[in-house]
Structure 1
Amino acid sequence: MSKAARSPKLRWIALGALAVFGLYHLAGPSSSSSSSTSSSPASGLAFAAADETPFPDEVWAHAKDPETDVEVLGVGRHSATIIFIHGLGGNAEIVLPLVARLRPKLWQVAWVLPNSPQLAFTGAQGETMSAWFDMDELLLPDHAPMPKREDEKRMRAAVDRIHGLIQKELDRGIDPDRIVLAGFSQGCATTLLSGLSWSGGKLGGLMCLSGWLPMAYDIKKQGSSEKHPMQSAHANELPVFWGHGAADKVIQYQWAEESIGHLTKMGFKDVQFHTYPELVHWVGDDEEDDMLAWFSKMLPQT
């Protein structure tokens, strides 16, 4: 299928002057589907999606619920998992169109889409919104430095949440190297911290989209390398995909360059840095193609 003929893209957009961003989809819910569903307020919703899209109404509705999880089962035998973490102002609902496009090509992969809590967000004058952690500001001038004051308490709580999802997949019998963490913007930051601090077996990799490495101000020199305060012993062995738009004015491109510089000094050797010259704060066609290629390499069919 040509790019021009694809379904409407997920786009990361600013919501008004506050620049509250998330994956945006143009396709809405549909009442027609042959998918089987089950729901639990505590555990979220797991379902075997139909081959066609969109997903049934109950899936779209549940995907908006704070602090719940939506799981999309693979087409084939479940032998790998992608945990995809949304950005500020987002939720699992806005990730579903991306899943719908990639799922038929990653047929053994199940997708776990966690929803963040609702927080009174300082950078939006205390407005309540979905967020993994608080931030003081949203709109920053060009060439602003990376944050030096961050909501570490909520960051660590988000990491604990993602670690719980990883453990759930391990308890199902999924090998750790068949589990990949992925996230956009705040979700990228949460992905990095969760991957860095995980010590329960080497994961399949980290996908970082338009984000930054939090707590960089606490990185310390240790011998010939540097170490992040949340870095576990073998975290530097993780493969990393980093995609960032050079025209991004929300999470600035230089933050990606600086973050990757830190990862290199922290001992990371398998880092793919993909720059998209005209891309702003969203996921474009070329980036989605690169994402699929990397996922396919990290999580091959078995």
Structure 2
Amino acid sequence: MEVKKHSKQVVTDGLPLASAEKVMILVHGRGASADSILTLKDHLLVDGFALLAPQATNHTWYPYSFMAPVEQNEPWLSSAIELLESLVEDCLKAGIKREHIHLLGFSQGACLTLEFAARTASRYGSVTAFTGGLIGEKIDRSNYKRKFEETPVFIGCSDRDMHVPVERVYASTNILTEMGARVTEKIYPGMGHTINEDEINIVNQQLSGSGKDK
């Protein structure tokens, strides 16, 4: 019988959760793995962080495009959101403040990260979406009832990504801004489906709480 939800498999790195004051939850893309997204630690200013990378069942958070009707991606989507919520709860129980919890994802993981963050909006440390947008055939604004309280958010994407239309990036930025996030959006001409150095620099500025390059 096909499994209809994600099991809680989490790869960790950095400091143990019990002794860290900051945490980053890193969400991998379709077909990738927790181990692969954790390689970003070599490029990010995450010394002193606990790093948590959940693993999607069958390496996929939901089966269809993030712009398919939501019901086509259920129950996988709800299960993925519940998994991220459980990780945030683990951090809070360990004594880490929500404003010291940073969320980051790439591609399918970026879409999931943005959707989770918008549904649970509060003052997070930061939210990073490398190539992603809010989920749904049409964005359901009624899912987002809370405020971000000035959380810094970064969304980066190519101007012609094969999976994420730039119009969805613009729409997501507008909604998150309305919700009180401080959104930095960068659209890169012809970048391809990847992460570039400029994006890493912007995220490191957010992580350091500084407007200066590190």
TM-score (norm: length of structure 1): 0.60
Instruction: Indicate which of 167, 170, 176 corresponds to 2:98.
Output: 176
- The partner residue of 1:211 within 117, 132, 140 is 132
Q: 1:238 touches 1:268 (CA, 8 Å); kept in 2?
A: yes
**Cα distance in 1, alignment partners of residues 27 and 80 from structure 2:** 10
In structure 2, do the counterparts of structure 1 residues 147 and 292 end up closer, same or farther at CA, with 3 Å as the change threshold?
Answer: same
Partner deviation per Cα, 1:6-34 (whole Å, 9 max, x = no partner): xxxxxxxxxxxxxxxxxxxxxxxxxxxxx
Name the residue aligned to 1:131: 60
Q: 2:154 aligns with which of 200, 222, 241?
A: 241
Is the 8 Å Cα contact of residues 237 and 268 (structure 1) preserved in structure 2? yes
**Which SS does the other structure have where 2:78 is aligned?**
helix
Q: Which runs of 5+ in 2 are unaligned?
A: 1-6
Aligned partner of 1:87 in structure 2 is 29
Structure ranking higher on relative contact order (CA contacts 8 Å, 6+ apart): 2
Partner of 2:67 in structure 1? 147
More helix by share: 2
Counterpart contact for 2:152–2:206, Cα < 8 Å = no
Contact 1:197 1:235 (8 Å CA) reproduced: no
1:293 counterpart residue number: 205
Aligned identity (percent) is 23
CA contact (8 A) 1:89 1:131 kept: yes
CA contact (8 A) 1:215 1:229 kept: no
CA distance in 1 between counterparts of 2:181 and 2:91 reads 26
Over the aligned positions, Cα root-mean-square deviation in angstroms equals 2.4
- Preserved contact between residue 74 and residue 106 of structure 1 (Cα < 8 Å): no
> Would you say how many aligned residue pairs link Structure 1 and Structure 2?
200
Structure 2 residue 115 is matched with structure 1 residue 189: no
Give the direction of change, closer, same or farther, for the CA distance of 1:174–1:267 in structure 2 (3 Å limit): closer
Query: Which structure would you say has the larger Rg?
Result: 1
Inter-partner Cα distance in structure 2 for 1:246 and 1:204: 27
Matches within 5 A, 1:19-34: none
Per the alignment, residue 3 of structure 2 pairs with none
Q: 3-state SS of the aligned residue for 1:229?
A: helix
Q: Which one-letter code corresponds to 2:21 in the other structure? A: S
1:85 aligned partner, one-letter code: V
In structure 1, stretches of 5+ residues that fail to align are 1-65, 119-129, 138-145, 220-227
Q: Describe the superposition over 1:146-185 as per-residue Cα deviations: whole angstroms up to 9, x where unpaired.
A: 8251314321111100010011111111111000111111
Alignment partner, residue 82 of structure 2? 160
